[in-house]
Structure 1
């Protein structure tokens, strides 16, 4: 009933639970909103403590995708799929099962990579459905780099808000999580002239980043207390909460992690401390923007250069921060209002089969 209450409160369209006993699969597919277009959003493959936790994660992520695409001005909506990672799972069969379900939606749902999903996984899924992103050079390109590019432009807007200039020179950036996206975020910051400190629970990813970018490393717990200009969470969501926000020693929070705030009150807490926050679903929209303007599965009426639209994240974040300042409201709340204003006033369900 918790899921049903959330669906009614935030006007979700559909939640599906997929099960395949042979594969040991339990997956949740959520479609939040398709009034602007097909529900886009990646597949997350990870361990959850319970089915309820997985459902709650999928619900939050799908709604964030709706807001992300709406704020970016794209003609699509939001969805998400999570697969519960369990012991002795038949990964190939599980992925094919999810792909067959996605195919049955006839283009109403389009998906790609998220945490725990590799390029090889996408290729397996592409044997069963056409509604999966092709991240090859001939397809939509490296979406991890595109995400990081958007975060970089969001940081620029925040730096200008705080210091009057978008320059990284002389600034210090602390990056939490240097996997595929976080590595690129650190690289952008280094190349822009910032001093960068990184942390990751994965020793291999950390060693690679330190060696390639010549940056400083601290422990995953110490990263919250690094005295810096920008704290950039690029790992899991929910890391900014009542336990971690008081430890922050930064002026700005801008990263790629989805749903980085534990709850709405955490956005208020950042605002109360005077920390400038780039709302996550706006800062990390680079991937879906690049995908939308390079994909060929759906018609794009307003064809533009995706990289120019990613750069426009700078202007969107500046506008959010301006409204936050004028309304004296937290940027997280202002961003939700901004995104909701881009949605149609009522759901019409006029195109249930976008691919037909």
Structure 2
């Protein structure tokens, strides 16, 4: 598969999600987009221990093969914008706050990239071109894990990328476990603020019912931690049968499995979305409102539209904004790049979430609206992508 670089920014200007993005792409010989990197904003520059200067960051995602160009462009712009918001929410206007970025593989155009990178030569060609034509060209964008990626993928990209622009391929640098740790911190803070007995965190795990959607890298780590903390009632769902079987082996007596779309109707007090975004809408919220009153998870952008955050609030369901709840991975990536310890920075999640909840209560405003208001000013201080 022969790939060449193309600036795809002009193709995105008419999209609703467009917000000054610069879009770098790889296209095939018949001019189909194979991969695109979306840069939303740039910081003043963060020096890494490897000698690189970072201005933006965000993971690399492999989409499902039944997608489309329009959907892939939309999700790339949406998620890169959300990365700017996530960095702003957690790091404010400090030097650690990068601009948002995201890389998306347009799998529907190049389905032959699916498979193990160790034996799939087409996938190898894609990653080499990504490293040499996009990462080297931007030279300030840090990438790491996202949906569909493996450590072997990142190792291959790192072989050809400029030093310091790939995180997650070395021992101890997979951000998934730290993302799960951050979700639990967000869950516990939500319980302290709104639980029956907020001071009794043990009761949260031992007495409450959970529904967990998505058993990927983060979802599996989260499930393991929930069971370790004494959770006795948990229902899971995933479209991948292998992921379900892997999860069952943790504790088949406690874990209940339902079909993917049935997870919204499960009688669970705490719903934890850890798969794709856009799943909280009028229909799913209506299904959950009779039993669920807390939503805390690792999924990026789980709200189908901004109003769904208000819809949840009006339904009496406490929603921990994803920009904060799943920020453990972003914290870990920045810490690994700069030589800091993630454990020393995870408190930022509980600090900002407590602030969001207090403002939500005081102003009678949905938490999703509060975090938008808080981060808007910080994002405006970042440099444009162009």
TM-score of the two chains, using structure 1 as the length reference: 0.88
Alignment of 1:219-298 (within 5 A): 219-248=259-288, 249-295=291-337
With over 3 angstroms needed to count, the CA separation of the structure-2 counterparts of 1:24 and 1:213, relative to structure 1, is farther
Q: Secondary structure at the match of 2:160?
A: coil
Correspondent of 1:202 among 237, 240, 250 = 240
Shift, 1:226, TM fit: 1.6
Residue in 1 aligned with 2:359? Answer: 323
Shift, 1:192, TM fit: 2.3
Correspondent of 1:128 among 156, 160, 172 = 160
Correspondent of 1:66 among 71, 84, 97 = 84
Residue in 1 aligned with 2:118? Answer: none
Structure 2 runs not aligned, ≥5 long: 1-9, 46-54, 114-121
- State the number of aligned residues: 341
Shift, 1:75, TM fit: 2.9
Residue in 1 aligned with 2:37? Answer: 29
Residue in 2 aligned with 1:105? Answer: 137
Question: Aligned-residue CA RMSD in angstroms?
Answer: 2.4
Shift, 1:308, TM fit: 2.7
CA distance in 2, matches of 1:162, 1:194: 19
Shift, 1:107, TM fit: 2.9
Correspondent of 2:376 among 331, 340, 348 = 340
Is contact 2:25-2:33 (8 Å) kept?
no
Alignment of 1:91-170 (within 5 A): 91-130=123-162, 131-137=165-171, 140-163=172-195, 164-165=197-198, 167=201, 168=204, 169-170=206-207
Correspondent of 1:171 among 208, 224, 231 = 208
Is contact 1:32-1:66 (8 Å) kept?
yes
Q: Which runs of 4+ in 1 moved over 6 A?
A: none
Is contact 1:70-1:342 (8 Å) kept?
yes
1:299-332 Cα offsets, whole Å, 9 max, x none, are x4xx753113124312221211111111211111
The reply to whether residue 313 of structure 1 matches residue 313 of structure 2 is no
1:236-291 Cα offsets, whole Å, 9 max, x none, are 11111122111013110111111111111211111110100011121111112112
Residue in 2 aligned with 1:211? Answer: 249
The reply to whether residue 49 of structure 1 matches residue 67 of structure 2 is yes
Q: Secondary structure at the match of 1:318?
A: helix
Is contact 2:280-2:304 (8 Å) kept?
yes
Shift, 1:52, TM fit: 1.1
Alignment of 1:10-21 (within 5 A): 11-21=19-29
Residue in 1 aligned with 2:217? Answer: 180
CA distance in 2, matches of 1:51, 1:348: 24
Is contact 2:186-2:349 (8 Å) kept?
yes
Structure 1 runs not aligned, ≥5 long: none
Is contact 2:270-2:294 (8 Å) kept?
yes
With over 3 angstroms needed to count, the CA separation of the structure-2 counterparts of 1:177 and 1:346, relative to structure 1, is closer
Q: Secondary structure at the match of 1:244?
A: helix
Is contact 1:177-1:198 (8 Å) kept?
yes
Is contact 2:18-2:77 (8 Å) kept?
no
Shift, 1:348, TM fit: 6.7
Q: Secondary structure at the match of 1:312?
A: helix
CA distance in 1, matches of 2:142, 2:156: 15
Shift, 1:106, TM fit: 4.7
Residue in 2 aligned with 1:88? Answer: 112
1:124-181 Cα offsets, whole Å, 9 max, x none, are 11121031114322xx523111111111111111112222416123112210011111
Residue in 1 aligned with 2:5? Answer: none
CA distance in 1, matches of 2:359, 2:268: 25
CA distance in 1, matches of 2:20, 2:66: 22
Is contact 1:44-1:83 (8 Å) kept?
yes
CA distance in 2, matches of 1:13, 1:106: 13
